[in-house]
């Protein structure tokens, strides 16, 4: 048998932009459920048939990137083994439990029937007064009875096109059309995998937003908070202040993981004082980020030295 060749580390994934903004994910603070109903900024939100959690989002974003990498099959076909999917998700061969979770995520993506507000799935048009019920995966074919986990030329004559734990997944036609038209939000895979919960949901949403330049290589965007925003971000804490606190903590997590984000804060909306908003500011220029990081580190070290000096002086006074 030929030696196993390790695959390159994945760097990018992607989500169709409506799905990046879709309020039917069970990721933020919402308990996983078979059904979701509400309204987000796009319009009506509904989902039934299956849960769509963090793993399902990661797998679908992986399929999106894989579809582009496999020459954009016009029928929406994506081919892979569970080993390849697990390797990208976990950085190693998936365990038996992880394989079961991956299979379950694929089943959920195929079973979920979602409603997208403000979108005509037949034409691809954005229409505020319309809503479309759609699937994400049209069908999936797999060969779980074969005992070969990774493709090799030696196993080819015996296993044919499909090898053990191999999948052929067909993306839904509406989704393929959207991807063909480049209506996609590209994501940094390593950052995506390091985030979870509300921090991941908020980060994906912010990545799909449009940003406005604010000078010095920086750009910003904001989300006005209210019921539609909380639905879009899967936030359902009972009290308003708890919702804002959860988003504040999520923003802090994003800043600690994604170096592009200088700040992700929850503040009063300067235009409508009775409203709150999430304001995100980021810097795309790597050189500017490096300079700012060096300045921040220098200031932090200076602060540490100043505190240490103060403590030494205080100790001398106490001793005398």
Lowest-confidence pick of 84-88, 138-142, 311-315: 311-315
The overall average pLDDT reported for the chain is: 86
pLDDT at 149: 47
Token duo for residue 180: 């063909």
pLDDT at 7: 58
Q: For residue 132, what is the DSSP state? A: E
pLDDT at 68: 97
The string of pLDDT tens digits covering residues 226-277 is: 999 999 999 989 999 999 999 999 999 999 999 999 999 999 999 877 899 9
The string of pLDDT tens digits covering residues 60-100 is: 999 999 999 999 999 999 999 999 999 999 999 999 999 99
With a pLDDT cut of 70, the percent of the chain lying above it is: 78
pLDDT at 159: 41
pLDDT at 28: 73
The model's confidence at residue 309, banded by pLDDT at 50, 70 and 90, is: low
In this structure, are residues 117 and 150 in contact, taking their beta carbons and an 8 Å threshold? no
pLDDT at 1: 31
Token duo for residue 199: 């921090």
Q: Return the domain boundaries, the chain.
A: 12-194, 197-284
Query: Cα separation of 223 and 24, whole Å?
Result: 17
| Placement of tokens 């309204």 in the chain | 39
Query: Cα separation of 283 and 255, whole Å?
Result: 12
- Alpha-carbon separation of residue 129 from 20, 115, 159, 162 (angstroms): 20, 13, 50, 44
Q: For residue 53, what is the DSSP state? A: -
Q: What is the mean pLDDT of residues 43-59?
A: 95
pLDDT at 315: 62
| Placement of tokens 């932090």 in the chain | 300
With a pLDDT cut of 90, the percent of the chain lying above it is: 69
The string of pLDDT tens digits covering residues 100-109 is: 999 999 999 9
Instruction: Name the β-bridge partners of 282.
Output: 219, 261
Query: Cα separation of 260 and 254, whole Å?
Result: 9
Query: Cα separation of 78 and 71, whole Å?
Result: 10
The string of pLDDT tens digits covering residues 149-174 is: 444 445 444 444 444 578 999 999 99
The model's confidence at residue 9, banded by pLDDT at 50, 70 and 90, is: confident
The DSSP H or E segment spanning 138 is strand 137-142
pLDDT at 115: 96
């Amino acid at each position: 048998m030929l030696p196993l060749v390790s695959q390159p580390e994945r760097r990018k994934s992607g989500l169709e932009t409506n799905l990046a903004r879709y309020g039917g994910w069970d990721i933020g603070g919402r308990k996983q459920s078979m059904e979701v109903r509400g309204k987000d900024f796009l319009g009506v939100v509904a989902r039934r048939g299956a849960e769509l959690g963090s793993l399902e989002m990661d797998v679908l974003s992986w399929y999106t990137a894989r579809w582009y990498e496999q020459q954009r099959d016009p029928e929406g076909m994506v081919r892979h083994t569970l080993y390849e999917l697990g390797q990208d998700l976990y950085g190693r061969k998936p365990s038996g439990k992880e394989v079961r979770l991956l299979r379950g995520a694929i089943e959920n993506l195929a079973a979920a029937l979602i409603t997208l507000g403000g979108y005509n799935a037949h034409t691809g048009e954005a229409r505020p007064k319309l809503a479309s019920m759609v699937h994400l995966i049209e069908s999936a074919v797999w060969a779980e009875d074969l005992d070969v986990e990774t493709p090799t030329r030696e196993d080819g004559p015996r296993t044919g096109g499909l090898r053990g734990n191999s999948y052929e997944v067909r993306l839904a036609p509406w989704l393929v059309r959207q991807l063909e038209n480049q209506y996609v939000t590209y994501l940094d895979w390593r950052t995506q995998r390091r985030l979870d919960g509300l921090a991941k949901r908020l980060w994906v949403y912010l990545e799909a937003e449009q940003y406005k330049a604010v000078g010095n290589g920086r750009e910003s965007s904001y989300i006005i908070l209210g019921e539609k925003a909380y639905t879009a971000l899967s936030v359902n804490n009972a009290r308003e202040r708890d919702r804002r606190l959860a988003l504040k903590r999520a923003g802090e997590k994003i800043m600690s993981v994604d170096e592009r984000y200088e700040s992700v804060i929850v503040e009063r909306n300067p235009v409508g004082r009775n409203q709150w908003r999430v304001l995100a500011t980021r810097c795309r220029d790597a050189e500017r980020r490096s300079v700012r990081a060096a300045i921040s580190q220098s200031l932090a070290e200076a602060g540490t030295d100043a505190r240490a000096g103060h403590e030494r002086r205080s100790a001398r006074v106490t001793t005398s």
